[in-house]
Amino acid sequence: MDIAVQTTPAVLILLGPPGAGKGTQARMLEEKFGLVQLSTGDLLRDAVARQTDAGMRAKAAMDSGGLVSDDIVIAILRDRLAQDDCAKGVILDGFPRTTVQAEALDTLLGETGQRINAAISLEVDDAAMVERVSGRYTCGGCGEGYHDSFKQPKTAGVCDKCGGSDFKRRADDNAETVGARLEAYHAQTAPLITYYDAKSALQRIDAMGDISAIAKGLAAIVEGATA
Ligand code: AMP
């Protein structure tokens, strides 16, 4: 289904700690609604792999599980948002992560007459996050996400989506770094729940259950927020 009736492109934000399922759910929403998933983590990993100036500056913070500086992330996001495909509407996955970023996003959207349709908080228990994050991996071909315990490919070693057999794990998905990433979430990102609540843009969803049940709940929120 395309959200074509809306006059300005939809802007949805997924908030939640590492392992909450933001990436998985963003991909599902992307398919269902024809929106574009923008993951600042993916954009930064790409910048690191290409050894761009921003990538070189971001690498140390990413390796340690800390946040990359606001100026780097805001510049990367601003450039990506200016690309044509974002006119379909976007799901922000992993941005904003600080109040400075949230304010910068408000300014950027204001310049193009856009607004945030909803900031959706994926509510999870911290205790489950380390296991969720340490067991996950993705298909190197199409990016489909899997998990050692919760979501194995139907045929072992073969991606359900594209048939590829090259899987990869993120370097920062290990128990030590996950602890630092959770700390960064609580100290710097969780305050955004209050920030968006104050703007009446906040929606909450219990993200501890089954992936498809959460997807259903999220789809209903997105339909309501973009109607
Ligand atoms: P993610 O893929 O969203 O888990 O992000 C991986 C890493 O990239 C994080 O642990 C941070 O180091 C960095 N990162 C991603 N998005 C942001 C952001 N909005 N602000 C600061 N750092 C970020």
Q: Report pLDDT for 227.
A: 85
Test site for ligand 1: of 14, 39, 68, 169, most ligand atoms within 8 A of the Cβ: 68
- Cβ(62) to ligand 1 under 6 A? yes
Residue 136 annotated in active site? yes
In angstroms, the CA 51 to CA 90 distance is 26
What is the per-residue pLDDT for 39?
96
Q: Indicate whether residue 208 lines ligand 1 (CB < 6 A).
A: no
Q: Which residues contact 7 (CB under 8 A, 6 or more apart)?
A: none
Spot the catalytic one: 22, 32, 45, 169.
Answer: 22
Find tokens 């789809």 and name the residue: 219
Distance in Å, CA 156 to ligand 1 centroid: 30
Answer positive or negative: Cα dihedral of 79, 17, 63, 187. Answer: positive
On the question of a cis peptide bond just before residue 96, with omega within 30 degrees of 0, the verdict is: yes
Encode pLDDT of 94-120 as tens digits. 999 999 999 999 999 999 889 999 999
C-alpha span between 112 and 35 (Å, rounded): 18
What is the rounded CA–CA span in Å between residue 58 and residue 76? 11
Q: Which of 32, 78, 170, 204 is catalytic?
A: 170
Would the pLDDT of 2 be above 80?
no
Query: Would you say the pTM of this structure is higher than 0.85?
Result: yes
Q: In 10 A of CB 50, how many CB atoms?
A: 10
Task: Tell whether the model's pLDDT for residue 210 goes beyond 80.
Answer: yes
Set 27, 80, 97, 132: catalytic member: 97
Report the alpha-carbon distance of residue 17 to residue 20 in Å, rounded. 6
Ligand 1 atom closest to the Cα of residue 18 is: 4
Alpha-carbon distance 166 to 188, whole Å?
35
Q: How far is Cα 34 from Cα 88, in angstroms, rounded to an integer?
A: 7
Q: Is 27 a catalytic residue?
A: no
**221's tokens:** 């929120």
Beta strand 118-123 pairing with 145-147: unpaired
